[in-house]
Amino acid sequence: MDYISILSMHQELGLIAVFLLVFLADLFLPERSRPLIRPIATLLLVVQLVGNIIPDEVILFGGMYHSTPMASVMKNILTLGTILVFMQSNDWLKREDTRHKTGEFYILTLSTLIGMFFMVSAGHFLLFFLGLELASVPMACLIAFDKYKGHSAEAGAKFILSALFSSGLMLYGISMIYGTIGTLYFQDIPAGLNGNALQILALVFFFSGLAFKLSLVPFHLWTADAYQGAPTNVTAYLSVISKGAAAFAAMVILVRVFGPMSSEWSQMLSIVIVATITIGNLFAIRQTQLKRFMAFSSISQAGYILLAVLAGTPQGMASLVYYMVVYIVANLAVFGVIASVEHHTHGKLERADYNGLYQTNPKLAMVMTLALFSLAGIPPFAGFFSKFFVFAAAFNSSYYLVVFIALVNTVISLYYYLLIIKAMFITPNEQPIPTFNSDNAMRACLMICVAGIILLGIVSNVYSVLSDTAVKF
C-alpha cells in the first residue's frame, strides 16, 4: 500500500497538526504564558484555512474517503466558523473559573471539528459513523464545560444520553443496509437499493440519527435544554458548525447513496421540513430567554436548510452551502452579542434585559439588528438571498406546497426576530444594560460577521463560485 497517498488528505492532516500543536502548547507552556494559547489556536486555524483554500477532489482507500471539491469548500467554511467562535471566546476564557482549562476548550473543539471533517468527506458508512461519534463525544464535554454549574452538567448529560440513543438508532439503520446489500461503500450501495421494507426502515433510522444532529422535529427535544445549559460560546459553536456539517452530510448521503430511493426520502423530508419549521417557530414565539430562543430559531433554520437537500440538485447543493455561510455569520453575530452582554453583565440573558440596549450600546444593538434581519431574510442582507436561493432550488424541483408553507413561516419568524429588535430600540427601560466595551477579538469578529451579512448578498460572485463548484458534488 502506498502510504504516501495518505498525505493527500491535507485538510484533515492539517487540522490534526493544529490539534497536536495546541495540545502540546497546553501541556508544555509555563503557567504564565498559558493565555498565549488563545491567539495561537486562532492563528493556526487561519493558517489551516488559507493553506487549504483551493478546493480539490481526493479519493483514498478505495473510496472510503472521498472529499469532493464541494466538501473541501464546506470544510473551509466550517473552519472559518470555528475561527469566529474562537475569536468570540476570549472574554469567557479569561474568566476566573474557566481560565485554568483554556486549553481544554480548544482541544475539545478542534477534535469535534476533525470528526466533522471526516463526516463531510466520508465515502463509507463506517468512516462516517466514526466521524460522527468523534464530533459528538467531545461535544458533550464542551456542553458540560462549566461542570460545576448545575445546568451545564445537566445539559451535557441530556446531550450525551440523547446522542447515544440516536447513534444506536443510526447504527441499527446502517447494519440493516449492510444486511440487505452487503457493502457499506457509498458508491456501491445505490446498485443494491430496491426500496423494500427493510431498506425503508434503514433509511428512516439512519436519517433519524442525522436528524438528531440537525435537531429536526421530532428529534429536536434535546436542543433547547442543551443550548440553554451550555456556555454561550459552545452554544454558538453547536448551533452553526455541527449543524452545517450534518446538513452537508445529509445532502451528500441522501442524494449520492439513497438516490434510487429519492421518492421515499423526499416524502419523508417534506413532512419533517414542514414540522420542523412550523414547530420551531411556534416554540420560538414563546421564548423570553435568548439562548433558548436561539435554540428554536436554529431549529426552524435547519428546516430551511433541508429545503435545499429536498431539491437534491446541484443548484440545491450550491444554495445549501451558501445558506450555511450566511447562517454562520448571522448566527455568530447574534451569539457574539449575547455572549458579550452576558459576560459584561454577569449573566443577563432575558429579552427584557435587552430593553433600551440601543441607548447604551448602540453599536451592539445595530449588529444584532443586522444579524436578525439577515436571519429573518429581509433584503438587502445576505439572509434574503440565501433564503431566496434555497426556495428557488426547492421550487425548481417542484415542491410547491412545502415552499409555500416555508414562506408563510418566514412571516412568523419575522415576528419573533422583531420582538428582540423592538426590545432593544423601542421598549423603554429605567435601568438599561450599562455601556461597556467588548475586547478587540470580539469586535473584529463582529465586524467580520457584519461585513459578511452585507457583502455576501451583494457580491454575487460568492454564489456563482459555489454553483460552479457544485456541478458534481
Partner 1 sequence: MEYTLFILLLPFLSFLILGLAGMRMKHQVAGAIGTASLLGVTFLSYLTAFEYFTAGRTAEGVYPTLTPYNVEWLPFTNDLNISMGILLDPISIMMLVVISTVSLMVHIYSFGYMKGEKGFQRYYAFLSLFTMSMLGLVVATNIFQMYIFWELVGVSSYLLIGFYYTKKEAVAASKKAFIVTRFADLGFLIGILIYGYYTGTFSFTPAIGALAAAGTMIPLALGLMFVGGAGKSAMFPLHIWLPDAMEGPTPVSALIHAATMVVAGVYLVARMFPLFIGYAPEVLPWIAYVGAFTAFYAASIACVQSDIKRVLAFSTISQIGFMIVALGVCTSDDPHQGGLGYMSSMFHLFTHAMFKALLFLGAGSIIHAVHSNEMSAMGGLRKYMPITHITFLIACLAIAGIWPFAGFFSKDEILTACFQFSPIMGWIMTGIAAMTAFYMFRLYFGIFWGKENKELHAHHIPHESPLAMTFPLIFLAVVTCVAGFIPFGEFVSSNGQAYPIHLDMQVATTSIVIAILSIGLATWMYMRPKQPIADMLAKRFNRLHTAAYRRFYMDEAWLFVTKKVIFRCISTPLAWWDRHVIDQFFNFTAWGTHATAEEIQDMQSGNVQQYAIWFLAGAIALTIILLI
Min dist CB 467 to partner 1, Å, is: 9
**CA angle, 306 then 310 then 316, to 5°:** 85
Please identify, using beta-carbon distances, which residue of 169 and 307 lies nearer to partner 1: 169
Please identify, using beta-carbon distances, which residue of 129 and 265 lies nearer to partner 1: 265
256: CB partners within 8 A, 6+ apart: 186, 187, 190
Min dist CB 381 to partner 1, Å, is: 16
Please identify, using beta-carbon distances, which residue of 107 and 189 lies nearer to partner 1: 189
* SS3 label, residue 58: strand
Spatial distance between the Cα atoms of 75 and 60, rounded to a whole number of angstroms: 17
- C-alpha 380, offset from chain centre: 23
Min dist CB 359 to partner 1, Å, is: 19
Please identify, using beta-carbon distances, which residue of 224 and 324 lies nearer to partner 1: 224
- Contact predicate 45/14, CB 8 Å: no
Sign for the pseudo-dihedral over CA of 256, 262, 264, 268: positive
Min dist CB 299 to partner 1, Å, is: 11
Min dist CB 124 to partner 1, Å, is: 23
Please identify, using beta-carbon distances, which residue of 295 and 371 lies nearer to partner 1: 295
Min dist CB 56 to partner 1, Å, is: 25
Min dist CB 48 to partner 1, Å, is: 31
Please identify, using beta-carbon distances, which residue of 116 and 217 lies nearer to partner 1: 217
Please identify, using beta-carbon distances, which residue of 123 and 229 lies nearer to partner 1: 229
- Contact predicate 252/71, CB 8 Å: yes
Spatial distance between the Cα atoms of 117 and 195, rounded to a whole number of angstroms: 30
All three cell numbers of 316: 440545491
100: CB partners within 8 A, 6+ apart: none
Min dist CB 204 to partner 1, Å, is: 5
Please identify, using beta-carbon distances, which residue of 24 and 459 lies nearer to partner 1: 459
**Which residues contact partner 1 by CB under 8 A?**
157-158, 161-162, 165-166, 169, 197, 200-201, 203-205, 207-208, 212, 217-219, 221-222, 224-225, 264, 267-268, 271-272, 279, 282-283, 285-286, 412, 415, 460, 464
All three cell numbers of 106: 480548544
Nearest CA-CA partner of 291 in 243, 374, 225, 380:
225
What are the contacts of 285-291 at 24+ separation with CB within 8 A? 285/412, 285/415, 285/416, 287/416, 288/350, 288/351, 288/352, 289/228, 289/349, 289/350, 289/351, 290/338, 290/349, 290/350, 290/351, 290/354, 290/420, 291/227, 291/228, 291/232, 291/235, 291/338, 291/349
Angle, in degrees to the nearest 10, between helices 102-120 and 10-28: 170
Min dist CB 387 to partner 1, Å, is: 15
All three cell numbers of 280: 420551531
- Contact predicate 189/255, CB 8 Å: no
Please identify, using beta-carbon distances, which residue of 90 and 242 lies nearer to partner 1: 242
